[in-house]
């Protein structure tokens, strides 16, 4: 089977030296895929740290340097926005825990190297949501959605407030109170996530504990339905496992936290595909224990086809038939995991009715509930 640009990108991230001698057209394929997947800055970092950088063509280096500049700027913005959110919530005295890209960047984790930090995602205890909403609106954030159904969707069933956008800066903010929808089958222990978070020095901010950070990243990838930037999200998991896994105590803690949060199968998928695509070093005992949570055949065969097809065609300009069908089935699966059948049927019926009458609901921006 021919190597797709996505698989070529995975190979270059694993073994950057393979980039030496690649023809320009092949490099173009890899760079297009890397930019669409948000991995161009990561690739630049891997090429630099392995001593390959200076032996690349000027054209390749110029494209990657642009990505590095954009990533550096995003980290500055992430730091500013995190401090603004913290300042707005400070009167409440509640913990403010950074999630995903902002957490990786501001904590100086390997997963943040070369990775752009996008929207600001924070997690606070659910009991503070009402007061936090008022404080953030006072500081200039407002909700993206104004439709009553959308607002109810988030407040009643989701793991976060409706997304917010700052009126002056245009930056987006997602305020979480747990890491999966309240209606999802898996029920992560939100109190444990908050209780065991780790403070960032001199910032008033925190990040999730190492094992929880991996599990949140895995839940984001393997429970989400749209599979946006799947390779970037899988690389996040690889980088976190590689860094945290230097401590022998991390691996048994990871397994224990997966059981606590009901994310054993999610972790098993994360380990399975990170090791396959990026060669993540995982202790055999951890792999064996996690594999017990995988589904039996032939469901595992099907999930492998769906996830690997999605990863293999990530970053393509257009989906082929196989990638389209895999994406559609994973979207259906995500809804099945997200809501019980009757509630899901009601939600889909409401969405269909709104679309069939020409989108009469008012949405300030394009973000809509799944």
What's the sign of the alpha-carbon dihedral 154, 158, 160, 163?
negative
What does the pLDDT look like over 136-165, one tens digit per residue? Answer: 999 999 998 778 888 888 999 999 999 999
pLDDT of 57 = 95
Helix 264-278 to helix 230-244 angle (10° resolution) is: 100
Q: What percent of the chain has pLDDT over 70?
A: 95
Choose the weakest-confidence range: 117-126, 301-310, 353-362.
353-362
187 pLDDT above the threshold of 80: yes
What does the pLDDT look like over 209-253, one tens digit per residue? Answer: 999 999 999 999 999 766 889 999 999 999 999 999 999 999 999
319 pLDDT above the threshold of 90: no
119 pLDDT above the threshold of 60: yes
d(CA 338, CA 154): 13
318 pLDDT above the threshold of 70: yes
pLDDT of 148 = 85
pLDDT of 347 = 80
pLDDT of 147 = 82
Q: What percent of the chain has pLDDT over 90?
A: 79
| Average pLDDT in the chain | 92
DSSP string, 151-181: HHIIIIISSBPPPEEETTT--EEEEESSSS-
Question: Who has greater pLDDT, 233 or 1?
Answer: 233
Non-local (6+) Cβ contacts of 173 within 8 A are 81, 85, 119, 120, 121, 122, 136, 141, 163, 164, 165, 166
> Taking residues 244-272, what's their average pLDDT?
97
Question: Who has greater pLDDT, 176 or 348?
Answer: 176
d(CA 233, CA 314): 11
pLDDT of 291 = 96
Do the Cβ atoms of 90 and 125 come closer than 8 Å?
A: no
367 pLDDT above the threshold of 60: no
Question: What burial class does residue 367 get, using C-beta atoms within 10 Å of its C-beta: 0-12 exposed, 13-18 middle, 19+ buried?
Answer: middle
Phi-psi category of 257—alpha, beta or left, where left has phi over 0 and alpha has psi -120 to 50?
alpha
pLDDT of 370 = 45
Q: Which residues of 27-62 are buried (b: 16+ CB within 10 A; e: fewer)?
A: bebbbbbbbbbbbbbbbbbbbbeeebbeebeeebbe
Question: Who has greater pLDDT, 286 or 354?
Answer: 286
> Taking residues 66-70, what's their average pLDDT?
97
Phi-psi category of 291—alpha, beta or left, where left has phi over 0 and alpha has psi -120 to 50?
alpha
> Taking residues 265-282, what's their average pLDDT?
98
Instruction: Return the bridge partners of 6, or none.
Output: none
366 pLDDT above the threshold of 70: no
pLDDT of 369 = 52
Instruction: Return the bridge partners of 145, or none.
Output: 363
pLDDT of 368 = 47
What does the pLDDT look like over 14-62, one tens digit per residue? Answer: 999 999 989 999 999 999 999 999 999 999 999 999 999 999 999 999 9
Q: How far is CA 42 from the centre of its chain?
A: 15
Distances from the Cα of 129 to the Cα of 123, 126, 161, 202, angstroms: 10, 5, 8, 24
Do the Cβ atoms of 37 and 229 come closer than 8 Å?
A: yes
354 pLDDT above the threshold of 80: no
Non-local (6+) Cβ contacts of 237 within 8 A are 214, 217, 218, 221, 270, 274, 280
pLDDT of 224 = 76
Q: With H, G, I as helix, E, B as strand and everything else as coil, classify residue 370.
A: coil
> Taking residues 281-304, what's their average pLDDT?
96
The CA angle 172-173-175, to the nearest 5 degrees, is: 160
360 pLDDT above the threshold of 60: no
pTM: 0.92
């Amino acid at each position: 089977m021919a190597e797709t640009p996505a698989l070529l990108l995975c190979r270059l991230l694993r073994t950057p030296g393979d980039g030496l001698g690649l023809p320009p057209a092949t490099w173009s394929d890899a760079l297009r895929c890397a930019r669409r997947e948000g991995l161009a800055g990561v690739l630049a970092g891997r090429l630099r740290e392995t001593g390959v950088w200076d032996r690349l063509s000027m054209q390749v280096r110029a494209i990657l340097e642009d990505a590095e500049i954009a990533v550096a700027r995003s980290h500055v913005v992430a730091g500013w926005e995190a401090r603004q959110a913290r300042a707005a919530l400070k009167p409440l005295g509640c913990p403010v825990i950074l999630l995903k890209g902002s957490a990786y960047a501001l904590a100086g984790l390997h997963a943040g190297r070369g990775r752009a930090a996008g929207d600001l995602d924070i997690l606070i205890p659910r009991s503070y949501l009402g007061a936090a909403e008022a404080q953030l609106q006072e500081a200039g954030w407002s909700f993206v959605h104004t439709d009553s159904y959308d607002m109810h969707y988030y407040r009643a069933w989701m793991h976060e407030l409706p997304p917010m956008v700052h009126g002056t800066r245009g930056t987006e903010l997602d305020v979480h109170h747990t890491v999966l929808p309240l209606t999802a089958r898996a029920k992560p222990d939100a109190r444990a996530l908050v209780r065991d978070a780790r403070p960032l020095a001199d910032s008033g901010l925190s990040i999730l504990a190492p094992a929880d950070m991996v599990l949140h990243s895995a839940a984001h990838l393997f429970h989400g339905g749209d599979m946006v930037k799947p390779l970037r999200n899988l690389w996040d998991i690889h980088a976190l496992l590689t860094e945290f896994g230097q401590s022998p105590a991390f691996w048994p803690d990871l397994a224990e936290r997966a059981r606590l949060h009901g994310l054993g199968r999610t972790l098993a998928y994360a380990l399975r595909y990170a090791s396959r695509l990026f060669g993540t070093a995982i202790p055999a005992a951890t792999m064996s224990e996690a594999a017990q949570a995988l589904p039996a055949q032939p469901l595992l065969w099907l999930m492998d086809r769906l996830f690997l097809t999605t990863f293999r065609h990530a970053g393509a300009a257009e989906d082929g038939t196989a990638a389209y069908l895999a994406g559609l089935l994973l979207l259906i699966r995500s809804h099945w995991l997200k809501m019980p059948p009757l509630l899901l049927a009601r939600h889909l019926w409401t969405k269909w009715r709104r679309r069939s009458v020409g989108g009469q609901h008012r949405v300030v921006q394009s973000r809509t509930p799944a």
